Amino acid sequence: MRILTFLHSFEPGGVERVALRLVRRWRDQGIDAPLFLGRGDGAMGAELGHDLDPHVPRGRAFPLPGSRPCG
């Protein structure tokens, strides 16, 4: 089984917190559970994201909703 989880970033939020805990639990159970992030920054990266090895696209980061485009 493979479960892909996508998050915009490690920015704090309830959905993000639950998703990161689920990814960690699935991996502990031996499930292939890749984590894909639109951006690799955010406050929860150090708290819940350590050692999760997320996939983050190279190049320009995706902008935050409601913000001006990057670059």
pLDDT of amino acid 65:
64
pLDDT of amino acid 33:
96
Domain map (residue ranges) of the chain: 1-71
Q: What is the pLDDT confidence band of residue 69, given thresholds at 50, 70 and 90?
A: low
Taking the C-alpha atoms of residue 69 and residue 67, their distance in angstroms, rounded to an integer, is 7
Burial class of residue 49 (count of CB atoms within 10 Å of its CB; 0-12, 13-18, 19+): buried
pTM of the full structure? 0.75
Q: What is the pLDDT of residues 1-31, one digit of tens each?
A: 999 999 999 999 899 999 999 999 999 999 9
Q: What is the pLDDT of residues 27-56, one digit of tens each?
A: 999 999 999 998 888 888 887 777 888 998
pLDDT of amino acid 63:
63
